[in-house]
């Protein structure tokens, strides 16, 4: 939706984005994500954490999860830190780090999540991100994605056509991606996908 430069001003009103889920009838994907991860002692990484909209929900409800979020926008991270402090969350930290070059050891996370970030990554960054996610996930670990996704209903088709106007050109290619075929190449097997308003939750497991 925005370049790193424009996230500086965008971070101030980014959370208005949440309102789009009220327009759809299939539910809020962030709640689906929260439910899917579950409350267990899991080490969770949120890639492209932004203002921590999903990470705060997960860490706030799943108090046994330890969540770390990474992002390259200082402004988005500052907004995330303010919200984390306001809520007094001690199981969520955020760091300035690129998804393409993570400073984490191989197989260090039980769960990796990416919410509404990958659709705006240009293909080279997206591919490097998939490679890094596969590297830092433990064997049997799960990669959860919530993001915009095509669906058969008319409301979603119209919404995505309009939303594409505010997204970078790589958005169309992202929507057309075959998750099963594409992610198998990274050792990640698509086990489930669920529909939410204008979006889907994908569950991919590392072999």
Ligand X SMILES: C[S@@+](CC[C@H](N)C(=O)[O-])C[C@H]1O[C@@H](n2cnc3c(N)ncnc32)[C@H](O)[C@@H]1O
Q: Please report, as ranges, the residues that interact with ligand X according to CB under 6 A.
A: 1, 4, 7, 48-50, 53-54, 70-73, 76, 98-100, 115-117, 120, 125
Tracing tokens 């001690």 back to the chain, one arrives at 90
Residue whose beta carbon is closest to ligand X = 50
- Closest to ligand X by CB, 118 vs 139, is 118
* Residue 154 beta carbon to ligand X: minimum distance, rounded to whole angstroms: 25
- Closest to ligand X by CB, 117 vs 136, is 117
CA–CA dist 72, 8 (Å, integer): 11
- Closest to ligand X by CB, 31 vs 189, is 31
- Closest to ligand X by CB, 99 vs 136, is 99
Quick check: 64 and 40 in contact, CB under 8 A? yes
What are the φ and ψ backbone dihedral angles of 89, each rounded to 5 degrees?
A: -80, 125
* Residue 16 beta carbon to ligand X: minimum distance, rounded to whole angstroms: 11
CA–CA dist 160, 171 (Å, integer): 10
* Residue 54 beta carbon to ligand X: minimum distance, rounded to whole angstroms: 5
* Residue 146 beta carbon to ligand X: minimum distance, rounded to whole angstroms: 8
CA–CA dist 59, 6 (Å, integer): 27
CA–CA dist 160, 157 (Å, integer): 5
């Amino acid at each position: 939706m925005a370049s790193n430069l424009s996230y500086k001003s965008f971070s101030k009103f980014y959370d208005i984005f949440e309102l789009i889920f009220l327009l759809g009838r299939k539910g809020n994907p962030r709640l689906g994500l929260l439910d899917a991860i579950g409350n267990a002692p899991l080490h969770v990484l949120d890639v492209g954490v932004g203002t921590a909209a999903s990470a705060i929900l997960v860490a706030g409800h799943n108090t046994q999860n330890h969540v770390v979020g990474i992002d390259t926008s200082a402004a988005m991270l500052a907004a995330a830190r303010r919200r984390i402090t306001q809520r007094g969350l001690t199981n969520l930290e955020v760091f300035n780090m690129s998804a393409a070059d993570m400073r984490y050891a191989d197989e260090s996370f039980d769960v990796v999540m990416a919410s509404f970030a990958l659709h705006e990554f240009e293909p080279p960054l997206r591919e490097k991100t998939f490679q890094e996610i596969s590297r830092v996930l433990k064997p049997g670990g799960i990669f959860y994605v919530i993001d915009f996704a095509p669906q058969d209903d008319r409301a979603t088709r119209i919404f995505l056509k309009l939303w594409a106007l505010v997204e970078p050109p790589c958005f169309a290619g992202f929507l057309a991606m075959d998750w099963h075929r594409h992610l198998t190449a990274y050792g990640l097997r698509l086990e489930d996908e669920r529909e939410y308003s204008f979006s889907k939750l994908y569950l991919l497991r590392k072999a």
